[in-house]
Structure formats: C-alpha cells, structure tokens
C-alpha cells in the first residue's frame, strides 16, 4: 500500500519560520480548513498548537466544531465561510468566531449578539477585489460593527504569489483606506505568499496555510519552507515490454524501444491526477521513471528505462511520488494545477505516518 | 454544506439491466474498488448484494478485508492487485480470492496452497495488450495452474468505450486463443463498456464498475444506465459585480457587463476540479450558471447573468453540480478528465444521503 508521511516537526519549523519573519507583535494564525489541506486536521492542528498557534481558521461549521473538540476551550477558532443565522446557537455553544462576509451577516450577527446581551466576537472580511466572499467597501460605515467585538478586520490577496503583480499594492492601499476608519481594531491581510511580499502587509495577524504545509509561497524563488509531505507507492509487478507495444487504457503511449515497466499501486482514486498521464515522473532511488500511458484508478505504469541494469527494483520496492526528488508543487505542474490541489486530493487509502 | 445523494435504487436497477443484457448463464460481478468509485462501499456493496450480486472485486487487501466484514462469509471477494506472499495468511483468513497477475504470483500461491493441503481459489489475469497487470501470454503453459482452483481466467479491455476500436476484436481473439487451452475454466473479459460491444465477449462472468454507478458505458450513444449521483452545493452569498471587475484568484475572469454572482460552498478540496475554472457550469432551477474565475479550495463563484430577475436565488438556496442538468460525464468533459475520476474524487466533506 502507498505510504503518506507527514512531518509534523517540519510543520512546527515552518510555523517558527513565519513567526520569526513577522515578529512578535504580529499573530500567526493557522489555516487548517479542508482537513488541514488534506494532511489530517487532528494531528496538524495539535502540532500547530504545540508550536504556539492560538488562532485557527476553518472553512465550514463542521470543521470548526471538530477543531473545538480537538483543541479544547482556549484557542480562537474562526470560520471563513461566514455566519448563517439558523446555525447561531452552534456558533455560540462552540465559541466559533464567524468571519462576517457581508452586511446581511453583520446585521444578523448583531441581532443574535444583542439577544445574548453581550458583544460577541467576530472577524469582518472586507472584499478588496477578489469578488468572492467579503463586505463590499461601498457598504462600509463607521458604526456598522456597533454591538460586536471585532477581533480583526481582514481582506484577502488575489495574486500574492506573483511578486510584481500591481494588484498587491493596490489591494493593500484599498485595505488601508478602509480600515483607517476603525483605528482600534486589529488588521489582517496576509495569506502565506503575502507574508513574503512586504513587511508593510503584515499588520496584526497573518493567516498562512500552504506555507505551513511546505508548499512554496515564493514561486519566483527557492522554497523557503521545510518539506512536510513524502508519498511513496509500492511496485506490484515488473515486466518487460517490446518496442511498439502500448501502455494502459486507450494505448496513449507507444514504447519506442524494448524496456521494462513497473506497475505501481497508486492511481487517480488516490489523488495522482489522471492529468499526470504521460507527463509526470515517479522516481526510484532518485532516478526519474516516466509515467507511461493513462494513469488508472488504482494503478500507474512507469518506465524503468533510465535505471541501470544493476540497480533494477524488484516487486515490493517503493517509488517516490512526492519527496526529495519531486515536491507537491512539481507534481502540480505536471498535473496542470497547483500544489494545494495535490495536497487536498491525497487519498484516505494511504497508510499515514506522522513523524 | 454541499449534499451528495447516492441513489441505491438506481444502482440496483443498473445491476438488473446488465443482468438482463448478459443473460442468466453469465455471472455479473460488482467492481467496488476505491470505496465503490467514491460512492461509499458499505452502502453500495450492500445494495449490490441485495440485487443478487455474489462476486465483488476490490483493488487492495484492506478493501478486500473491509468487504468481507461488510458482506459476511458467503460472497466471493476477489482482489485485483494480486497476491503478495507476505500477506498470504490474511487472504486465507478472510477468504480473499487473489487475482494472479504474473507467473511469480502463480507459483507463490501454488506453494501457499500446497502448504495448506488444498486447492485454493484464484482468478488468473492474462494480459492481452494493456501492459499493466496480467500474466504475459508467452508465460502460459497447460499445467501452470496445477494445484489451484481457478475460478476464472480473465483479461481486460484497453479501449472498450470506443465501439469501433480494432483493439477490441483483437484482444478478444488473443484471449480466445489463450483460454482455449483451459476449456474447463470459466472465462471473463468484459468491463462495463465491453458488455455493450458484443454478446460474444460476455463469456461466463462480466465485471462492471462504472455502469453500475450511472456513468455512460457507451459514450458513442445515449447513456443506457440510470443516474446514481446528485450533488448540490449551497449559496453562501450573492452580490453584484460591475463590468471590468474580476473574479477570484489571479483575476482569470473579467466581467463583460454588470452582473450578479453567487458564492457556492464547494471547491477543489471537495472534488470540483480546479480545471473546471472558467469552463463548467453549475445550475440553478435548470439554468446554467458559468463558473467565473479560478475554483478555490472551498468556494466557487458562479455568474447569475442567465437567470431572470424574478427567479433570482437567495442565500441558502442550492445549486446543482451533478444531476439532471449535468452528469458526472458532462462535468468530466469540462474538467478534461473522465467520469470515473469525478466520482472517485467526491469529498468526504459532503453530507451524504443514500436513497
């Protein structure tokens, strides 16, 4: 069976690295939505707490409640997908801090807060151009948060992994203008990549996700983060192939010479995207073995032509899918996507080890 | 939260349809690997058993053992990924029928069988051109299965969903030639699509997977199968956008006119592939709403421009991702993949209903 190893020590080291980068005056929250980007929220959130993280971001209410159960009473748990009035009691019972994404949500939360006779905690999300979630700047007014305890005013970068994108300073300027009306409230603008753009963008809290998990927040430069994930798959069978034979479904690859192939126990049902068919490599002892033909649901065919006769693998040996020779970002390139989607697609069929 | 409905009654109807097609002399096995193609093996395998299925195919040993626990002692559970000698006791204890994929596995299983003083059951897989798993025809000999109880000789089509592919009759002919040396052993060649190619290919057992789950085994014609999956996602927020504003990460879509968008609580972490960015539609009341900008991890932006003012949705309404207006096969086309990968990528974050 394929083996997924998640290095919790690297996640901690990444948290420390970001903490050092932003300095003590700035809070480093941990974004652990989507099962901590596929890596397993229970272990990952625990590791982040041990590293000193006290604010966690989830996307959905079930994720938020799960986090509260995992982490106990003390951390702040914020929910990005907003406040739904019909779930108000659940937010309250579990002390979930909703991220308020439009005026409707602000008003509904104010009514709920008022009914509790208290100033309930919230984060307010202002849209500075993403056009996804967030309060429209035109809807802002000085007294709009009366009756609430606003823990942060936040916005979200559109293109922060593009160092020279004019959108970054443009969004920061828009954010600055808007939040200047609320001098007493903490501010937050940065995702992982934003942290590396400019110290001016750090404000009072940053909200890294991908960088904690070892993806590269600076694709224009070497990855400053520690590798978190290794994924190895097992060779089920090795056999020779002859020139002009084909590989896999629909015969999309034709061998140009006699060779040998290994059949590996990982497929698209495990998150090795079918888009990697005939494009990506897996590696054996550091030697690249190209994927031949279409990736199947449970199996992948790799070519052993690059491996010297004396170093040929045998049945039961492991090949690297993600690791020192190929990062999740590298694999994403071959799959025509981004490293995030590689991580969130990792299968529950793997044997998982946390180190 | 997004809602995934799996219509077990449709799976049963699909089983009946295939059974009627192949006739009583031919066994219809159920392929339930990869968590029953992502639909949930416990409920799906139970439904197939209720429909009369007595042979189940899994890919891996953990899947096979899980099936044995789910289904009790009586069904045949076959494991496609082969026989690994170090796991021999586990196959034996759980009465797993291994699919023997090369001579090495045949010989190892013969030794194990001999040590148990019995003729142990197995399926032998012969490669007729796939170059994935399977015994090479050149390695076949008349006495090669001595000491084993061979329940079936099987092979696997390369391009059975292409009706006119010359590979189909070519593989059938190769299979016929090889199996003619073993007249007493049952034979099996067809996956879902193979069943619809020719009655001559049915032999003694067929092994459908995708057709049971409502994917189209005849892409050259209307889908003969019943729809199994519906997936609906919830609108978290609706807001207006102005001409020339952009949508989502990296501003990959620019609105050509003033419009309104809905932000839906489904993203690529849920299996809505990022490749559907700016290509696929979700639908509201049967009206297509194009995805605008990049699909995010947990959220997707759709354009409401096609919806008449009087029918505008509101926050909390559901939109269709897979259903009467868009099959998994349709969505696959927009995601540049196949329906199988859509199904196996469906998230565990959904609320699942079985009907």
Q: What is the pTM of this model?
A: 0.95
* Sign of the torsion formed by the C-alpha atoms of B251, B253, B255 and B259: negative
Give the number of C-alpha atoms closer than 13 A to the C-alpha of residue B222, restricted to the C-beta side. Answer: 2
Class of domain B7-206 as given by CATH: alpha beta
Assigned superfamily of A229-354: Lyase, Ornithine Decarboxylase; Chain A, domain 1 (2.40.37.10)
Q: Which residues of B touch A274 (CB under 8 A)?
A: 337-338, 341
The rounded distance, in Å, linking the Cα atoms of B120 and A16 is: 57
Determine whether the interchain pair B298/A34 forms a contact, defined as Cβ–Cβ distance below 8 Å. yes
Interface check A57 vs B, CB under 8 A: no
Interface check B12 vs A, CB under 8 A: no
Return residues 215-234 of B near A (CB < 8 Å).
none
Return residues 162-191 of A near B (CB < 8 Å).
162, 167
CA-nearest residue of chain A to B274? A337
Are B7-206 and B229-354 in the same CATH fold? no
Q: In this predicted model, what pLDDT tens digit does every residue of B198-246 receive, in sequence order?
A: 999 999 999 999 999 999 999 999 999 999 999 999 999 999 999 999 9
Q: Read off the tokens for A11.
A: 């996640």
Q: Closest partner residue to B131 among A102, A248, A349, by Cβ?
A: A248
The Cα of A300 is separated from the nearest Cα of chain B by a number of Å equal to 8
In order along its 355 residues, chain B shows pLDDT tens digits of: 899 999 999 999 999 999 999 999 999 999 999 999 999 999 999 999 999 999 999 999 999 999 999 999 999 999 999 999 999 999 999 999 999 999 999 999 999 999 999 999 999 999 999 999 999 999 999 999 999 999 999 999 999 999 999 999 999 999 999 999 999 999 999 999 999 999 999 999 999 999 999 999 999 999 999 999 999 999 999 999 999 999 999 999 999 999 999 999 999 999 999 999 999 999 999 999 999 999 999 999 999 999 999 999 999 999 999 999 999 999 999 999 999 999 999 988 888 999 9
Q: Closest partner residue to A101 among B34, B237, B344, by Cβ?
A: B237
The rounded distance, in Å, linking the Cα atoms of A310 and A329 is: 31
Interface check A132 vs B, CB under 8 A: yes
Interface check A321 vs B, CB under 8 A: no
Q: Across chain A, what does the average pLDDT equal? A: 97
Overall size of chain B counted in residues: 355
The rounded distance, in Å, linking the Cα atoms of B331 and B340 is: 11
β-pairing verdict for B253-254 and B246-247: antiparallel
The rounded distance, in Å, linking the Cα atoms of B239 and A157 is: 19
| pLDDT for res B157 | 98
Q: Which residues of A touch B63 (CB under 8 A)?
A: 349
Q: Which of A237, A241, A318 is the mutation pick for testing B, counting most B CBs within 10 A?
A: A237
The Cα of A74 is separated from the nearest Cα of chain B by a number of Å equal to 25
Q: Which residues of B touch A237 (CB under 8 A)?
A: 82, 101-102, 133
Tell me, what's the ipTM? 0.95
Determine whether the interchain pair A268/B341 forms a contact, defined as Cβ–Cβ distance below 8 Å. yes
Residue B308: count of CB within 10 angstroms of its CB = 8
The rounded distance, in Å, linking the Cα atoms of B176 and B178 is: 5
Q: Across chain B, what does the average pLDDT equal? A: 97
Interchain CB contacts (distance < 8 Å): A and B? 187
The answer to whether A213 and A37 are in contact (CB under 8 A) is: yes
Return residues 288-307 of B near A (CB < 8 Å).
293, 296-299, 301
Determine whether the interchain pair A133/B316 forms a contact, defined as Cβ–Cβ distance below 8 Å. no
Using alpha carbons, select from A228, A285, A278 the residue that is nearest to residue A250.
A278
β-pairing verdict for A27-28 and A205-206: parallel
Burial class (CB in 10 A: 0-12, 13-18, 19+), A355: exposed
Indicate the angle between helix axes A41-50 and A61-71, nearest 10 degrees. Answer: 50
Q: In this predicted model, what pLDDT tens digit does every residue of B75-89 receive, in sequence order?
A: 999 999 999 999 999
Radius of gyration of chain B from its Cα atoms, rounded to whole angstroms:
23
Determine what percent of chain B is predicted with pLDDT higher than 90: 98
Burial class (CB in 10 A: 0-12, 13-18, 19+), A13: middle
Determine whether the interchain pair B132/A167 forms a contact, defined as Cβ–Cβ distance below 8 Å. no
Residue A135 DSSP one-character state: B
Determine whether the interchain pair B246/A131 forms a contact, defined as Cβ–Cβ distance below 8 Å. yes
Q: Closest partner residue to B131 among A274, A301, A344, by Cβ?
A: A301
Interface check A342 vs B, CB under 8 A: no
Class of domain A8-213 as given by CATH: alpha beta
Distances, alpha carbon B325 to alpha carbons B8, B39, B262, in Å: 20, 20, 18
Q: Read off the tokens for B126.
A: 């012969």
Report domain extents, chain A.
8-213, 229-354
In the block, which residue shows the tokens 């439904």? B47
The CA-based angle A143-A149-A154, given to 5 degrees, is 80
């Amino acid at each position: 069976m394929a083996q997924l190893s998640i290095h919790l020590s690297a996640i901690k080291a990444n948290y420390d690295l970001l903490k050092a980068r932003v300095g003590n005056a700035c809070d480093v929250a941990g974004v652990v939505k989507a099962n901590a980007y596929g890596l397993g929220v229970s272990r990952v959130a625990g590791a982040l707490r041990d590293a000193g993280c006290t604010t966690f971001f989830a996307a959905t209410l079930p994720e938020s409640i799960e986090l509260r159960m995992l982490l106990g009473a003390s951390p702040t748990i914020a929910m990005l997908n907003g406040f739904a009035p019909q779930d108000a009691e659940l937010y309250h019972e579990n002390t979930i801090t909703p991220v308020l994404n439009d005026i409707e949500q602000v008003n509904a939360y104010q009514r709920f807060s008022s009914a509790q006779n208290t100033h309930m905690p919230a984060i307010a999300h202002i849209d500075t151009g993403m056009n996804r979630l967030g309060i429209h700047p035109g809807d802002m007014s000085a007294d709009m948060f009366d009756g609430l305890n606003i823990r942060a005013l936040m916005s979200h970068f559109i293109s922060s992994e593009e160092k020279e994108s004019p959108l970054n300073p443009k969004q920061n300027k828009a954010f600055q203008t808007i939040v200047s009306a609320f001098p007493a409230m903490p501010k937050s603008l940065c995702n992982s990549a934003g942290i590396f753009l400019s110290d001016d963008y750090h404000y009072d809290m940053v909200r890294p996700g991908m960088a904690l998990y070892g993806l590269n927040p600076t694709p224009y430069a070497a990855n400053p983060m520690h590798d978190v994930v290794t994924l190895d798959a097992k060779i089920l069978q090795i056999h020779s192939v002859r020139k002009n034979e084909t590989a896999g479904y629909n015969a999309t690859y034709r061998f140009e010479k006699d060779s040998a192939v290994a059949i590996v126990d990982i497929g698209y049902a495990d998150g090795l995207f079918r888009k990697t068919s005939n494009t990506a490599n897996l590696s054996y002892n550091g030697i690249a073995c190209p994927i031949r033909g279409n990736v199947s649901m449970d199996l992948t065919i790799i070519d052993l032509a690059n491996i010297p006769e004396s170093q040929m693998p045998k049945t039961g040996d492991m090949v690297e899918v993600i690791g020192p020779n190929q990062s999740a970002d590298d694999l994403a390139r071959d799959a025509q996507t981004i490293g995030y989607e590689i991580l969130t697609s990792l299968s529950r069929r793997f044997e998982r080890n946390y180190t």
